[in-house]
Amino acid sequence: MGLLTEGSPLSWEETKAYADHVRQHGVIQFLKQYNKLKERTKDCLYWGDEVEYMLVKFDHQNKKAVLLLHGSEVLHKLQQQQKEHSQDQLTTWHPEYAAYMVEGTPGKPYGGMMAHFNLVESNMRQRRKEIQAVLGTDTTPMTLTSFPRTGCPAFTFPVCVPTPNEGASQSLFFPDSVIFPDHPRFRTLSRNIRERRGEKVAINIPIYKDINTKSPFTEDFSVLGDDGEAQRAALPDHIYMDCMGFGMGCCCLQMTFQACNITEARNLYDQLTPLCPIMLALTAASPIYRGYLADLDTRWRVISQSVDDRTREERGLEPLKKDKFVINKSRYDSVDSYLSASACSDIKLVYDKDIYHQLIKGGVDDLLAKHIAHLFIRDPISLFSEKIHQNDDEDTDHFENIQSTNWQTMRFKPPPPNSKIGWRVEFRPMEVQLTDFENAAYTVFLVLLTRVILTFQLNFLIPLSKVDENLATAFKKDAIREGKFYFRKDILTECSPPEASKCVSSCLPGERLCCGNGQDLYMQMSINEIINGKEDFPGLVPLIYKYMDNAEFDVDTRCTITQYLTLISRRAAGTLKTTARWMRDFVQNHPDYKNDSVVNETINYDLLLECAKISSGEMKYPDLVPVTSSKTSNNIPDAVSKVNNYLDSKSKNLQNSH
Ligand code: ADP
Ligand code: MG
Ligand code: MG
Ligand code: MG
């Protein structure tokens, strides 16, 4: 989660009073760094993943599985080890929102070598092993996107009680003591989001209507101490949730890519944007919330609503009086503009005009200025007294404050000050999978796709309004099999003059990538067609194979990648289930399930125990993940020597044949 600054958090009123100060200095800080670093070039194509884990405790006697709130101790031990092995460090550990979560990344970013693709999975396995080693028996680190019974009575160990009338969340279901305790940031965010909005957040997710589900489905919250707010906010036939923890307590799989320069980073940001809904649907893994089967398969809408701090004025429910903008989306949502293609950015972009002009004056171009001025319509939602006054030549905390609380599908990451790190983009929509094999597969698929995009100069751009429509499709149950997604027809061509003439709002001079608004630039396809191709569309997996034909791989790496691509290809084709579909089937076939959408403690226990066995490889479901581990290796020198051997033998063969 971006930068975590230590210190004493200000109250919401105090933070609000400094909002303009933070924005003003944030923009100055961005401009300083931008002008210093905009010409920076020749950075490597580094990349890395982030995996979030939940600590799950099993009570086998009573058939209960609950979330263990020991994240802080676990993190402390992991970071201690990290310090001791700082030389050849394989893993890095970070705090996350909930006290039952930790986040792990590789010790160093990958990059440059094809053999690195063969390190991802074993590094993920290493991370799981490291967490497991500091946990007690009957406790397991799990890569679950959402815990099925978050917010149900006694869903944690130790058991905590919600405090609806006091504290940060004031939730009927989610106790404040479930928030990560060591750092005040998370609690402060929860409180300030609620206070800024003027009421609790309201998360409503359509419930899956089974034959015995109460109809209309409604709940009585007065028994939990509701003063009427929940009853008013909860929609019929929806699972209602009321605080940040329900969303930020979900786990995900993120990727960061470094580009060689800012132009390439902007291009990657744009090209990966239309892939966000596709990858969300392909990774769908969260069909259960607060003990009920949902009608959606992914976490995105939960998390988006869980941090929606817009006031009633900003949501357009009341005329603007105190606030500046009517804002169409939560701060956790899809991106609203491309960074290098104006014509395709066809959705209303709300941005701060003063900040935009300040950026233009400071030498930033129109599209990037709009992007930043759009991020800066938000208030800072946490501020620490020690960090109010900064040296704008050196610090970027105010910029990062706004940047890191704009949780969008993609993030454009400028280089940190005084570092070797270059311009990066982050890919944020994916749900985390049960096995390291699958997480590695999605990671490697995406990295290879970036290489394919850059090598073949692919163009995936379609109007952003269509990307947003795709995202809404991606949320849905079984989107992968049933959804149709807008996708660009001809991904191999850039904007040519006849195409440009079809744009309703024409491309700006010098813009390479135009998507046009003409109907015939994109078509609706299934995920299967997008990933595996069809008559008139090459498919992303075949394109990766084509790219691999001309790249140098050792045998093991090629074998591993082939297994990964097979998984993606089969998920797309529907011959393998998504995690969400598998979980639904497990619940619906459970002897305790009464066709009423309820996932009770026993079903939850059996489901999670099975998930834990899938993660460890102890249990195999050929209709979910037929292969659960590849020939992955953790040994970097070994991987390097394998590549060298391969290249040697290849050049010898070449010499022999001459
Ligand atoms: P955040 O939570 O802000 O996204 P993290 O530090 O958790 O940031 O994760 C950053 C990711 O970027 C990790 O996967 C890491 O391996 C990767 N990474 C680190 N340095 C670079 C770099 N120079 N280029 C690309 N990726 C990098
Ligand atoms: Mg991240
Ligand atoms: Mg995280
Ligand atoms: Mg992170």
Task: Output the ligand 1 site: residues, CB below 6 A.
Answer: 1-2, 46-50, 94, 105-106, 109, 254, 256-258, 421, 424, 426
Residue 573: exposed, middle, or buried by beta-carbon count in 10 A (0-12, 13-18, 19+)? middle
How many A from CA of 259 to the centre of ligand 1? 13
Structure tokens at 411: 């993030």
595 conformational bin, left if phi > 0, alpha if psi -120 to 50, beta if neither: left
Phi, psi dihedrals of residue 408, rounded to the nearest 5°: -100, 170
How many A from CA of 54 to the centre of ligand 1? 20
Ligand in nearest proximity to the CA of 50: 1
Structure tokens at 557: 């790496």
How many A from CA of 101 to the centre of ligand 3? 9
Average per-residue pLDDT for the chain? 92
Half-sphere exposure of 374 (CA within 13 A, CB side): 28
Q: What is the pLDDT of residues 376-398, one digit of tens each?
A: 999 999 999 999 999 999 999 99
Ligand 1 closest atom vs CA 421: 23
Ligand in nearest proximity to the CA of 423: 1
Task: Calculate Rg over the CA atoms of the chain.
Answer: 24
| Among candidate residues 545, 571, 558, the one with its CA nearest the CA of residue 625 | 571
3-state secondary structure of 591: coil
How many A from CA of 319 to the centre of ligand 3? 36
Helix ranges (DSSP H) in 427-463: 436-456
**What's the whole-number mean pLDDT along residues 530-536?**
96
Return d(Cα 501, Cα 341) in angstroms, integer: 15
Return d(Cα 424, Cα 415) in angstroms, integer: 7
**Residue in 3, 50, 253, 269 to alter for ligand 1 test, most ligand atoms within 8 A of Cβ:** 50
Tally: H helices and E strands in the chain? 23, 18
User: Does residue 610 have a pLDDT over 90?
Assistant: yes
**What is the distance between the terminal CA atoms of the chain, rounded to a whole angstrom?**
55
Ligand in nearest proximity to the CA of 52: 3
Whole-structure pTM value: 0.94
Distance of CA 170 to the CA centre of its chain: 26
Ligand 1 closest atom vs CA 411: 4
Half-sphere exposure of 616 (CA within 13 A, CB side): 13
How many A from CA of 219 to the centre of ligand 3? 32
Contact 370, 337 (CB under 8 A): yes
**What's the whole-number mean pLDDT along residues 24-53?**
95
* C-beta neighbour count of 569 within 10 angstroms: 22
User: Does residue 332 have a pLDDT over 90?
Assistant: yes
User: Does residue 501 have a pLDDT over 60?
Assistant: no
Q: How far is CA 626 from CA 39, 542, 560, 563, 614, in A?
A: 47, 21, 14, 10, 11
Contact 247, 306 (CB under 8 A): yes
**What's the whole-number mean pLDDT along residues 465-469?**
97
Q: Quick check: bond before 216 cis, omega within 30?
A: yes
| Among candidate residues 352, 337, 334, the one with its CA nearest the CA of residue 407 | 334
**Residue in 78, 102, 105 to alter for ligand 1 test, most ligand atoms within 8 A of Cβ:** 105
How many A from CA of 439 to the centre of ligand 3? 15
Per 3-state DSSP, what percentage of the chain is helix, strand, and coil (rounded to 5)? 40, 15, 45
Return d(Cα 603, Cα 184) in angstroms, integer: 35
The pLDDT score that the predictor gives to residue 3 is 44
- Proportion of the chain above pLDDT 70, given as a percent: 91
Give buried/exposed letters for 140-152 (b at 16+ CB in 10 A, else e). Answer: bbbbbbbbbbbbb
The pLDDT score that the predictor gives to residue 84 is 86
**Residue in 120, 256, 261, 405 to alter for ligand 1 test, most ligand atoms within 8 A of Cβ:** 256
The pLDDT score that the predictor gives to residue 506 is 47
Q: Lowest mean pLDDT: which of 10-14, 218-222, 340-344, 495-499?
A: 495-499
Q: What is the pLDDT of residues 388-446, one digit of tens each?
A: 999 999 999 999 999 999 999 999 999 999 999 999 999 999 999 999 999 999 999 99
Return d(Cα 216, Cα 439) in angstroms, integer: 38
Residue nearest atom 17 in ligand 1 by C-alpha distance = 48
